[in-house]
Amino acid sequence: MVSVVFQLCLEDSFHQSRCDTSLFIYRRGSDIAYLLLYVDDIVLTASSAGLLQRIITSLHKEFAMTDLGPLNYFLGITATHTGSGMFLSKKQTPVEPGAKLTSHGPAVKDPTLYRRLAGALQYLTFTRPDILYAV
């Protein structure tokens, strides 16, 4: 499926993003669309309902797929639709339910290294949802 979508994207004037190889961007005049491909899931948004429907129809011609409607949740990110667009947030964390933290053990003399590590891991979870649960 990935190769079919990739080929279809290139044929329909989508260009692969230089920042993220799974993101494809379509621009023609005032029309713009973003197609994010992750394994066997596709997140698609466009500047107009007509453009969105044309892309979906084009994808349907190539292979069977299910349109799940407006995006609500994807790879740990919650999408909230507003009048001016969409707000993305991360409300859930992959923490074991009922996990307890204790204060046993010696205190860390310099917490700077720990804070840097925690910040780096947090950055990874926001920017690399494909490795979120491993982190």
> What is the residue type of 121?
L
Query: Which residues have CB under 8 Å from 10's CB, separation 6+?
Result: 16
- 134 against 109, higher pLDDT: 109
- How far apart are alpha carbons 131 and 51 in whole angstroms? 32
Band of residue 23 on the pLDDT scale cut at 50, 70, 90:
confident
Band of residue 50 on the pLDDT scale cut at 50, 70, 90:
very high
- 45 against 105, higher pLDDT: 45
The string of pLDDT tens digits covering residues 91-133 is: 666 667 777 767 777 777 887 887 888 878 877 777 777 777 6
Q: Record the pTM.
A: 0.59
Instruction: Say if CB 72 and CB 79 are below 8 A apart.
Output: yes
Mean pLDDT of the chain: 79
H/E stretch holding 61: helix 49-62
User: Which two tokens mark 40?
Assistant: 């066997």
Residue with tokens 């190539």: 62
Helix (H, G, I), strand (E, B), or coil: what is residue 69? coil
- Predicted local distance difference test score (pLDDT) of residue 104: 77
- Percentage of residues in the chain having pLDDT higher than 90: 10
List the one residue out of 54, 53, 59 whose CA is nearest residue 37.
Answer: 59
H/E stretch holding 79: strand 77-82
- Predicted local distance difference test score (pLDDT) of residue 16: 84
List the one residue out of 53, 13, 70, 14 whose CA is nearest residue 37.
Answer: 14
pLDDT over 70 at 28, yes or no? yes
- Predicted local distance difference test score (pLDDT) of residue 41: 82
pLDDT over 70 at 135, yes or no? no
User: What are residue 39's phi and psi, to 5 degrees?
Assistant: 55, -105
